[in-house]
């Protein structure tokens, strides 16, 4: 058993993400940057290069920047997540953004003067488009996207896509308070007529203010934050520190990152938008259960109640295990791995993910340093998830999170 210490310093009671850095863009289950900042400082991991193999919207990079780290790399399979990261951490001259916004706005209003113009633009490939959007919303989104695509500079174009992807979600018929794709009730549909262009321009301003006040001033000219839309693979990089918050479990029964971003990803032209949840950790069911190590007992108990669930759970931990091996082998000797994890409950059986992470790192040449337990009072909805596909049905699965810190002692050959 790897020792766990209850550490109230990491509870941040009454604080939210925005207490330090407003979130540029909505993303499920974001990590409080405060955790990253304090833990990097406590373990003296404020120099060198940082890796986040599940970077989501990039909170670990926010923490890293605040601690003076400039070389960081992130991976996520969800293109929407990597887009948010790129926007947050790419330095774009503020005056260029303002100039482009003026041109963009003029172009749209000029285009809207002739109502036949819309017929010149192709319709996007969105699954069940008329189920999710009204005709007026579809037309306005097509126009906005068309003028975003006309922007030559890729960084500026990405910046304009960030409010676009939020507007897609907000102006669709999806319930905004659910991670999964559920349509609002039919009586609400009739009264739902958003003014898409105004919503977009307002959203653009909000994002611009947050970017220019909070992120832009922190991004170093000589800094390098590389974000890839991919699964992390072994790299001969010798990272100094890994700071990450992996998913709590498979997307289907925990946080549906893919579904949450499906419509935005489809509007961004991502061909695999509807497959993302199956591509994430635990997305494919295992054929056998895990029978070794600290997780085996919990899985065995689950299998007695529901073997299918046990196979799904086994699949998640197998994927996490492979990933930890790749990560561990990409860290230099003396480097640290900091994983912020949740021990969720399946079929009323607690899954000791913190112990699993410590065990896997120890098997890869690391020594467990400490695990802190923190109360979960403020993370975006991790303690209440819909375990079924029933609208609005949620259960409490987690009240605490664990911050697992390990240090690399030996180098093992990846083979």
Ligand X SMILES: C[S@@+](CC[C@H](N)C(=O)[O-])C[C@H]1O[C@@H](n2cnc3c(N)ncnc32)[C@H](O)[C@@H]1O
Using the contact rule CB under 6 A, the part of the chain among 76-84, 215-223, 288-296, 298-306 near ligand X is 76-84
**What is the smallest separation between the CB atom of 138 and ligand X, expressed in angstroms?**
27
Q: Which residue has the tokens 């056998």?
A: 288
In the bound state with ligand X, the residue whose beta carbon lies nearer, of 363 and 380, is 380
Q: How many residues bind ligand X (CB under 6 A)?
A: 21
Determine if 172 is a binding residue for ligand X (CB under 6 A). Answer: no
Query: Applying CB under 6 A, does 57 fall inside the site for ligand X?
Result: yes
Tell me the closest approach of the beta carbon of residue 257 to ligand X, in angstroms: 4
Work out whether 56 is an interface residue with ligand X (CB under 6 A). yes
Instruction: List the one residue from 4, 11, 21, 29 that touches ligand X (CB under 6 A).
Output: 29
Q: Considering the complex, what minimum distance in angstroms separates the CB of residue 241 from ligand X?
A: 15
Degrees, nearest 5: CA angle 204-209-214: 130
List own/partner pairs for 259-263 with CB under 8 A and 24 or more apart.
259/179, 259/180, 259/181, 260/28, 260/179, 260/180, 261/78, 261/80, 261/81, 261/165, 262/181, 263/126, 263/132, 263/168, 263/169, 263/172, 263/174, 263/181
244 or 371, CB closer to ligand X? 244
Told to check if 24 binds ligand X by CB under 6 A, we report no
Residues 339 to 368 in contact with ligand X, rule: CB under 6 A: none
Q: Is 229 exposed, middle or buried (0-12, 13-18, 19+ CB in 10 A)?
A: middle
| 56 versus 335: smaller Cβ distance to ligand X | 56
- CB–CB of 277/253 below 8 Å? no
Find the binder of ligand X among 24, 280, 299, 406 (CB under 6 A): 280
Candidate segments 126-134, 171-179, 203-211, 243-251, binder of ligand X by CB under 6 A:
243-251
Among 2, 10, 21, 27, binds ligand X (CB under 6 A): 27
Q: How far is the CB of 31 from ligand X (least distance, A)?
A: 4
Name residues contacting ligand X, limited to 177-236 (CB under 6 A).
231
Per DSSP, 174 falls in state B
Output the smallest distance, CB 152 to ligand X, in A: 29
For the chain, the straight-line distance linking the first and the last C-alpha, in angstroms and rounded, comes to 28
Q: Does 31 bind ligand X (CB under 6 A)?
A: yes
- The one among 12, 54, 164, 179 contacting ligand X by CB under 6 A: 54
Q: Say if CB 341 and CB 48 are below 8 A apart.
A: no
Q: Closer to ligand X by CB, 244 or 289: give it.
A: 244
Helix (H, G, I), strand (E, B) or coil at 395: strand
Q: CB-wise, 56 or 163, nearer to ligand X?
A: 56
Helix (H/G/I), strand (E/B), else coil: 371: strand
By C-beta, is 81 or 148 nearer to ligand X? Answer: 81
Q: Measured from the CB of residue 389, what is the shortest distance to ligand X in angstroms? A: 19
CA distance 127 to 270: 12
Give Cβ neighbours of residue 249 (< 8 Å, ≥ 6 apart): 282, 313, 316, 344, 346, 351
**Judged by CB under 6 A, does residue 245 bind ligand X?**
yes
Residue with smallest beta-carbon separation from ligand X? 56
Cβ proximity to ligand X, 26 vs 91, nearer residue: 26
Residue from 4, 25, 30, 104 in contact with ligand X (CB under 6 A): 30
CA atoms of 244 and 61, how far apart (whole Å)? 10
Cα 354 from Cα 176, distance rounded (Å): 31
> By C-beta, is 251 or 303 nearer to ligand X?
251
Examine residue 281 and tell whether it contacts ligand X (CB under 6 A).
yes
Alpha-carbon distance values, 364 to 3, 63, 330, 385 (Å): 19, 26, 11, 32
Cα(365)–Cα(385) distance, integer angstroms: 35
Closest CB to ligand X among residues 129, 210: 210
- Six token digits for residue 57: 């919207």
DSSP β-ladder status, 239-244 and 71-75: unpaired
Interacting residues with ligand X (CB under 6 A) = 27, 29-31, 54, 56-57, 59-60, 75-78, 81, 231, 245-247, 257, 280-281
């Amino acid at each position: 058993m790897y020792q766990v210490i209850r550490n109230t310093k990491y509870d941040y009671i009454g604080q939210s993400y925005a207490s330090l850095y407003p979130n540029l863009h909505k993303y499920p289950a974001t990590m409080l940057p405060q955790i990253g900042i304090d833990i990097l400082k406590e373990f003296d991991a404020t120099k060198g290069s940082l890796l986040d193999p599940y970077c989501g919207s990039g909170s670990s990079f926010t923490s890293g920047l605040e601690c003076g780290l400039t070389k960081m790399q992130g991976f996520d399979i969800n293109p929407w997540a990597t887009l948010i990261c790129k926007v947050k951490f790419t330095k774009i001259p503020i005056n260029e953004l303002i100039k482009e916004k003026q041109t963009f706005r003029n172009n749209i209003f000029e285009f809207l003067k002739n109502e036949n113009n819309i017929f010149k633009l192709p319709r996007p490939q969105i699954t069940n488009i008329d189920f999710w959007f009204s005709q007026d919303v579809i037309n306005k989104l097509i126009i906005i996207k068309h003028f975003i695509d006309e922007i030559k500079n890729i960084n500026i174009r990405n910046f304009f896509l960030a409010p676009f992807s939020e507007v897609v979600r907000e102006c669709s018929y999806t319930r905004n308070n659910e991670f999964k794709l559920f349509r609002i009730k039919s009586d609400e549909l009739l009264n739902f007529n958003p003014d898409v262009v105004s919503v977009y321009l307002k959203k653009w301003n909000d994002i611009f203010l947050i970017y220019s006040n909070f992120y832009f001033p922190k991004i170093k000219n000589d800094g390098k934050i590389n974000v890839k839309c991919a699964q992390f693979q072994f790299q001969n990089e010798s990272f100094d520190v890994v700071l990450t918050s992996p998913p709590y479990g498979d997307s289907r029964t925990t946080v549906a990152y893919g579904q949450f971003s499906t419509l935005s990803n489809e509007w961004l032209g991502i061909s695999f938008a509807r497959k993302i949840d199956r591509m994430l950790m635990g997305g494919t069911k295992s054929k056998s259960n895990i029978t070794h190590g600290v997780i085996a007992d919990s899985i065995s108990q689950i299998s007695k109640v529901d073997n299918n669930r046990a196979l799904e759970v086994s699949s998640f931990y197998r994927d996490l295990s492979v990933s930890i091996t790749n990560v561990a082998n990409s860290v230099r000797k003396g480097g640290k791995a900091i994983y912020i994890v949740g021990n969720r409950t399946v079929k009323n059986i607690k899954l000791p993910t913190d112990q699993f992470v410590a065990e896997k790192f120890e098997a890869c040449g690391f020594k467990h340093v400490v695990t802190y337990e923190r109360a979960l009072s403020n993370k975006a909805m991790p303690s209440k998830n819909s375990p079924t596909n029933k609208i609005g049905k949620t259960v409490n699965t987690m009240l605490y999170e664990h911050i697992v810190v390990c240090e690399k002692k030996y180098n093992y050959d990846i083979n």
